[in-house]
């Protein structure tokens, strides 16, 4: 049984020591509310809630949701926990005060999401997905729509979903077939089938607000003919009370590899009443406006998988005795030494730790940028908004794909530390692997993220956002003079030069053969991820050295940070070499084989 | 739904074209029976049996075994399939004629095991595990024990198990506590608890013969005090009929991540009657004598996972349409192009293909050596036996750990090709991942195999078996003069030089600090695996060029082999670089962190 403990100390290290969120909060609206005391209080409360209310439902929730007579019932205890969540005001932490929210910074809400998500990813998906619907309405809804839908969503009284995927298409949303026909009264009849709808139905809230991609009559084909609609489960009366049931129903729930406690629904829209949100035929563009922030949410799953699996593996490695240390018996009076004496077990644990803590640093930096974007949006400063959007846009595919790939790896190390016991359900370690698998698939697969990074963000963007990022790294390496940091700075500088050269080499090759982009993409993404993570680890090491120098805080904690950074640079960063060598290869070895020659079975 | 088709063409390519098994069979006892016609007939029959009888039980078997009133019931259809298996004489293919077997080469039986195991790994575990018990009795049993137990096991009338693991120990068998007390009549009372016993109980056969590790009274502590015992489920009367039920019972079956159709039992021995097999206190040594061949069996799971997942992913990639080729529309009249136009999808498919076919080449080469070992044993030529045992001993940890790690990777690619659908049970792709997970854990985890390779086989063995292997590669690179092969040969030569240098560097560092062995081990194993696989791919490419030159056979098939080899050298082999860089690092970054500094949660 994994006993989740929220890593509040590590979160504070990032917020206070590494990123100085207190200073940052003074520059954003609502930030003045987020005093150090308030932040501490919120973090502690979120930690308790995650540890005491949500975490105990993790393994039991693996039994899954029930589907009966068209209704979905969440696992035992989910509803009660959600009631507490709403009462605690957790859903409205970062929503605007004028719509009943608390207006606190997004980054603070994200710390809460990390804790809840690590304690129980499936549980966290219900309120988490609702944020997607809320964001859509906040960014593109009319004032009336905000009052009607956003407020109860923000309260947590209702929940929302995003209905994008259809049986014939997931990534390629241009193929969407769901139709919306105008009723003449401003409403539309929405008809079609959506699949893989997380939280499509459940028993947590009295109403569910679906955001649906559909086509208007005569809309252009492909992505240019898709609009967004609000389709409530229960129609809403003018006084805000629930009206009649809308014909949008759950046809079935999927049997999946993991995240069993999260309902994944087939949703049938059968002339369901809907309302246009945002401009006609601009549905996909509207969705893209907050795709970056939504994807940070998914990247947290990488951190969560690594953190939870590490928390499961470490006590086992300390407790379980097997064989003797290669350097001689460590506990001669015991039947064997613990797993902690074995270098390879330490390698696996440190890999998990480096992913969890390094990934967290990447995510909290992104959250800081999301705060700034949000501030720019509030001020109506489009130029500033786009600047931050670019900055975040470069990082999001890396965060989403690299961190979820590494989170999955970390979850697998957790199983491996347990040996055969890792394969047994009772211990809870294999559940983390099964749950982590989805993170590489939804919100754009690793392959899709990689194309977004290399194709769109780097090459189409003519290296602009890459250069912004590289300048930041360069500023850091220039400013860091401490002799102990040399080992990191030297490697980091060399890596950044290498990265730039590879960019140009790939761009050159891609100009001759477009397949170069797809062929290099995933290796390029992983390469970029390892280099990014090196920067964050170096930053954390520098902060730790500063703290040790000043004699502030828990010195052992800071020393462990430096040691983990050393581990990362020696034992993980070199993986980038292999990716570099592969990404620069000609696409020929991928493209030359004829389709019919992949297999000779018939 | 994955529809398994046995890759008979690929198996014949290895048996006939690459390794010339017909010539090889002339040098081993029983080999003259294995004429080309006979081999063809057997392969075709095994293919039909696997495809038509075993494969259809794969997804349905995922429901798992039932445990009722102390008895285990296998999933629907398993029993009937096993009846056909026994009637077909499949279990006795390679057992000695003097004990009722067919005396065919081990390598041929292994081809059968590959097909059955790929069609349905859990099903194949029942007869597969029985081979372990049979080997033990054949190698260490008395003539009477062979008559009494080996013959019905070989017939398939009974099945056997290996009872090693206990709650407190798996790898570290020196901690075994199960006791065996002499009854004075030559029999022993065996008492203790064994866990993770595959096929510990089931409904496939009337009797089950357990091979049990236990301690005699006054036996030395640790591994030097362990003996082997035969403990039958039903005692056997002198006429071979079943006597009374022995008090060895299944306490429960484990709930696992995968291989649900294989029963994993807690076995309680409560003064169960047992019989010593092999010398007192030499139980572990006896087990080691055939550990290498047993581990080849597990390595097949790596090939099986890759093959089955590839067979599932390829038709989907050909059928599913999403987005357009980067180089322009390929099917302009269709709503989108197929996944096959996307370089990264091809990368995943080719990775699966390179693992499945390359892994198969590694396994069949090992099977060839196992044939020779078996021949040497039959002739009583201990020296020759040990020569082959050394040769195989070097390869087995690589086969077992590298191929299962890569098989797991391949299974994950299969899920990824399906996108979100890969996560849904119905398609069968996620089951392959769940089933593959165990292959990295049982029969010695990857970490344990890596220590065996680097610590025992390479360093303790003073590079002897490594050099034997390196000489073989060197003979191949010298003999291969074909200009088209240069691209492979050059890389292969350079790699082998690098490997030798790394061996010496690691040996030197290990002589200063024993932790170097554990710290380098897993990266060393993966590095070794990639280099080995390169050799097998180069060999296959050379054979393919020969065939094309002679204009023999299916030219497209041979061309695809060469293209897959090119893919491997360009897009997988470079991973070895990263491993090399990491394995050579000082153990410090793994060992310096204090145990209490791994986490600061309390």
CB B168 within 8 A of CB B148: no
SS (H, E, C) B47-104: HHHHHHHHHHHHHHHCCCCEEECCEEECCCCHHHHHHHHHHCCCCCCCCCHHHCCCCC
Structure token pair of residue B437: 């997970």
Inspect the interface and report whether the beta carbons of A590 and B434 lie closer than 8 Å. no
Inspect the interface and report whether the beta carbons of B519 and A556 lie closer than 8 Å. no
Whole-angstrom distance, CA of residue B407 vs CA of residue B436: 7
Interface probe for A, chosen from B44, B122, B257, B592 (most Cβ of A below 10 Å), is B257
Q: A443, A542, A595, A596: which is the annotated catalytic residue? A: A443
Chain A positions touching B586 (Cβ under 8 A) are: 570
Whole-angstrom distance, CA of residue A385 vs CA of residue A392: 10
Whole-angstrom distance, CA of residue A343 vs CA of residue B592: 10
Task: Kindly give the pairing relationship between strand B227-232 and strand B264-277.
Answer: antiparallel
Residue partners of B97: CB distance under 8 A and separation at least 6: B30, B103
User: Most distant CA pair in chain B: distance in Å?
Assistant: 84
Q: For residue B289, what pLDDT is reported?
A: 73
CA A459 from chain center: how many Å? 24
Q: For residue B400, what pLDDT is reported?
A: 97
CB A166 within 8 A of CB A177: yes
Burial class (CB in 10 A: 0-12, 13-18, 19+), A477: middle
State the count of interchain CB pairs (< 8 A) between A and B: 303
Whole-angstrom distance, CA of residue B429 vs CA of residue B423: 7
Residue A179 φ/ψ, nearest 5 degrees: -110, 150
CB A101 within 8 A of CB A124: no
Residue partners of A491: CB distance under 8 A and separation at least 6: A534, A569, A573
pLDDT beneath 70: ranges in chain B: none
What is the rounded average pLDDT of the residues A552-563?
97
Does A116 touch chain B if contact means CB atoms closer than 8 Å? no
Chain B positions touching A593 (Cβ under 8 A) are: 346, 350, 560, 563-564, 567
Superfamily (CATH) of domain A290-443 = Butyryl-CoA Dehydrogenase, subunit A, domain 3 (1.20.140.10)
CA distance to A482, A559, B598, per residue, from A554 (Å):
21, 9, 14
B70-108: pLDDT as tens digits? 999 999 999 999 999 999 999 999 999 999 999 999 999
CB A176 within 8 A of CB A169: yes
Task: Kindly give the pairing relationship between strand A66-68 and strand A71-73.
Answer: antiparallel
Q: How far apart are the CA of A573 and the nearest CA of chain B, in angstroms?
A: 9
**Exposure pattern of B67-80 as b/e (b: 16+ CB <10 Å)?**
beeeebbbbebbee
Residue position matching structure tokens 């009052």: A147
Q: For residue B30, what pLDDT is reported?
A: 83
Which of B44, B56, B32, B53 has the alpha carbon at shortest distance from B8?
B44
Q: For residue A171, what pLDDT is reported?
A: 93
CB interface of A with B, residues 262-321, below 8 Å: 310-311, 314, 318, 321
Q: For residue A602, what pLDDT is reported?
A: 72
The H or E element spanning position B359 is helix B343-379
| DSSP state string for B262-278 | S-EEEEEEEEEEEEEES
Q: For residue A25, what pLDDT is reported?
A: 97
Residue B551 φ/ψ, nearest 5 degrees: 65, 25
- The model's confidence at residue A472, banded by pLDDT at 50, 70 and 90, is very high
Tell me the β-bridge partners of B180. Answer: B190
Which of B10, B37, B130, B19 has the alpha carbon at shortest distance from B367?
B19
CA distance to A229, B59, B201, B545, per residue, from B515 (Å):
62, 44, 41, 45
Whole-angstrom distance, CA of residue B472 vs CA of residue B469: 5
Whether residue B307 lies in the annotated active site:
no
CB interface of B with A, residues 85-104, below 8 Å: none
Interface probe for A, chosen from B347, B415, B554 (most Cβ of A below 10 Å), is B347
Q: Is the pLDDT of residue A291 over 80?
A: no
* C-beta pairs of A318-322 under 8 Å, 24+ apart in sequence: A318/B595, A321/B168, A321/B172, A321/B175, A322/B169, A322/B170, A322/B171, A322/B172, A322/B175
- Nearest CB to A600 within list B518, B557, B595: B557
> Would you kindly state where each structural domain of chain B is located, as residue ranges?
8-287, 290-444, 453-590
CB interface of A with B, residues 444-483, below 8 Å: 445-447, 450-451, 455
Whole-angstrom distance, CA of residue A75 vs CA of residue A55: 13
Whole-angstrom distance, CA of residue B599 vs CA of residue A353: 9
Residue partners of A252: CB distance under 8 A and separation at least 6: A67, A265, A266
What is the average pLDDT value for chain A, to the nearest integer?
97
Inspect the interface and report whether the beta carbons of A415 and B327 lie closer than 8 Å. no
Q: For residue A1, what pLDDT is reported?
A: 77
Say whether B290-444 and B8-287 share the same fold: no
Structure token pair of residue A430: 């294999």
Q: B443, B549, B552, B596: which is the annotated catalytic residue? A: B443
Task: Kindly give the pairing relationship between strand B207-214 and strand A207-214.
Answer: unpaired
Q: In terms of CATH architecture, what is B8-287?
A: Beta Barrel (2.40)
Q: How far apart are the CA of A90 and the nearest CA of chain B, in angstroms?
A: 23
Which of B271, B133, B163, B269 has the alpha carbon at shortest distance from B226?
B163
Helical H segments across A457-514, by residue range: 464-479, 486-512
Whole-angstrom distance, CA of residue A437 vs CA of residue A440: 6
- The model's confidence at residue A446, banded by pLDDT at 50, 70 and 90, is very high
- The model's confidence at residue A295, banded by pLDDT at 50, 70 and 90, is confident
Q: DSSP class of residue B516?
A: H
Looking at domain B290-444, which of 3.30.360.10, 3.40.30.10, 1.10.150.120, 1.20.140.10 is its CATH number?
Answer: 1.20.140.10
Residue position matching structure tokens 């002799």: A483
Whole-angstrom distance, CA of residue B350 vs CA of residue B359: 13
Which of B134, B135, B132, B90 has the alpha carbon at shortest distance from B114?
B90
CB B226 within 8 A of CB B173: yes
Q: How many CA atoms lie within 13 Å of A256's alpha carbon, on the beta-carbon side?
A: 31
Whole-angstrom distance, CA of residue B431 vs CA of residue B59: 8
Residue of A nearest to B256 (CA): A424
What is the rounded average pLDDT of the residues A192-218?
98
Q: How far apart are the CA of A422 and the nearest CA of chain B, in angstroms?
A: 8
Inspect the interface and report whether the beta carbons of B347 and A318 lie closer than 8 Å. no
- The model's confidence at residue A467, banded by pLDDT at 50, 70 and 90, is very high
CA B591 from chain center: how many Å? 32
- Nearest CB to A419 within list B170, B257, B574: B170
CA A560 from chain center: how many Å? 26
Which of A127, A146, A126 has the alpha carbon at shortest distance from A136?
A146
The length of chain A, given as a count of residues: 602
CB A169 within 8 A of CB A175: yes
Which of B562, B161, B284, B246 has the alpha carbon at shortest distance from A597?
B562
Q: How far apart are the CA of B257 and the nearest CA of chain A, in angstroms?
A: 6
């Amino acid at each position: 049984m994994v006993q989740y403990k929220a890593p509040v100390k590590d979160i504070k290290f990032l917020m206070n020591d590494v990123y100085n969120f207190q200073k940052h909060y003074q520059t954003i609206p609502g930030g003045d509310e987020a005093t150090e005391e308030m932040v501490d209080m919120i973090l502690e409360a979120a930690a308790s809630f995650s540890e005491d209310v949500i975490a105990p439902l993790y393994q039991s929730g693996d039994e899954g949701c029930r589907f009966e007579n068209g209704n979905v019932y969440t696992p035992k205890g989910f509803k009660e926990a959600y009631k507490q969540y709403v009462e605690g005001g957790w859903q409205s932490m970062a929503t605007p005060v004028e719509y009943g929210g608390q207006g606190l910074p997004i980054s603070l809400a994200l710390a809460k999401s990390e804790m809840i998500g690590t304690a129980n990813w499936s549980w966290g998906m219900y309120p988490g997905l609702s944020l997607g619907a809320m964001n859509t309405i906040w960014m593109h809804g009319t004032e009336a729509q905000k009052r009607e839908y956003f407020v109860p969503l923000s309260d947590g009284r209702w929940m929302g979903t995003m209905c994008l995927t259809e049986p014939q298409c997931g990534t390629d949303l241009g193929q969407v077939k769901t139709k919306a026909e105008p009723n003449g009264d401003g409403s539309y009849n929405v008809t079609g089938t959506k699949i893989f709808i997380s939280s499509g139905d459940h028993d947590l809230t009295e109403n569910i607000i679906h955001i649906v991609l559909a086509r208007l009559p005569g809309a252009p084909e492909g992505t240019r003919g898709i609009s967004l609609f609000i389709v409530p489960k229960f129609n809403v009366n003018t006084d805000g009370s629930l009206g009649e049931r809308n014909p949008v129903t759950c046809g079935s729930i999927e049997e999946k590899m993991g995240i069993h406690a999260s309902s994944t629904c087939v949703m049938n829209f059968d002339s369901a009443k809907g309302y246009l949100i945002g401009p006609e035929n601009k549905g996909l563009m509207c969705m893209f406006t907050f795709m970056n922030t939504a994807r940070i949410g998914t990247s947290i799953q990488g951190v969560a998988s690594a953190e939870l699996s590490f928390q499961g593996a470490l006590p086992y490695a300390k407790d379980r005795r097997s064989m003797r240390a290669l350097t001689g018996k460590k506990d001669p009076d015991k039947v064997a030494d613990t797993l902690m004496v074995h270098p390879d077990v330490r390698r696996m644990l440190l890999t998990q730790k480096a992913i969890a803590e390094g990934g967290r640093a990447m995510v909290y930096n992104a959250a800081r940028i999301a705060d700034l974007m949000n501030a720019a949006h509030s001020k109506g400063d489009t130029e500033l908004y786009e600047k931050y959007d670019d900055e975040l846009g470069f990082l999001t595919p890396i965060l989403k794909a690299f961190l979820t790939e590494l989170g999955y790896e970390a979850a697998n190390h957790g199983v491996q530390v347990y040996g055969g016991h890792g394969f047994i359900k009772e211990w809870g370690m294999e559940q983390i692997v099964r749950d982590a698998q989805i993170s590489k698939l939804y919100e754009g697969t690793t392959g899709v993220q990689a194309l977004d990074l290399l194709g769109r963000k780097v090459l189409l963007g003519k290296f602009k956002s890459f250069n912004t990022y590289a300048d930041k790294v360069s500023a850091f390496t220039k400013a860091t003079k401490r002799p102990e940091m040399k080992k990191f700075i030297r490697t980091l500088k060399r890596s950044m030069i290498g990265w730039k050269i590879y960019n140009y080499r790939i761009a050159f090759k891609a100009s001759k053969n477009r397949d170069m982009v797809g062929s290099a993409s995933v290796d390029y993404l992983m390469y970029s991820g390892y280099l990014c993570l090196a920067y964050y680890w170096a930053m954390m090491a520098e902060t730790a050295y500063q703290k040790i120098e000043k004699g502030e805080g828990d010195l052992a904690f800071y020393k462990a940070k430096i040691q983990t950074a050393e581990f990362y640079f020696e034992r993980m960063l070199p993986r980038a070499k292999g990716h570099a060598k592969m990404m620069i290869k000609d696409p020929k070895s991928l493209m030359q084989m004829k389709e019919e020659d992949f297999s000779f079975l018939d």
